Amino acid sequence: MSKNLKIFTYTGLGFIAIAASSLYLNFNPTQFSFFPQCPFHYFTGLHCPGCGTQRAIHDVLNGNIISGLQHNILIVLAILVLTYNGFIMLRKHYYPQKTKNLLYHKATPMILFFTIIFYWIGRNIPFEPFTFLAP
Distance (Å, whole) CA 35 – CA 31: 9
Exposure class string for 30-54: b at 16+ Cβ within 10 A, else e: eeeeeeeebeeeeeeeebbbbbbbb
Q: What is the CA angle 59-86-21, rounded to 5?
A: 30
Query: What's the DSSP call for residue 37?
Result: P
Distance (Å, whole) CA 38 – CA 109: 24
| Domain boundary assignment for the chain | 3-133
| φ/ψ of residue 40, rounded to 5 | -65, -45
| φ/ψ of residue 28, rounded to 5 | -80, 120
Distance (Å, whole) CA 111 – CA 103: 10
- Burial status of residue 75 (CB atoms within 10 A of its CB: 0-12, 13-18, 19 or more): buried
For every one of its 135 residues, what pLDDT tens digit does the chain have, with 9 covering 90 and above?
566 677 777 778 888 888 888 888 888 888 888 888 888 988 998 899 888 888 888 998 898 888 888 889 888 888 888 888 888 888 887 887 777 788 888 998 899 899 999 999 999 998 888 888 887
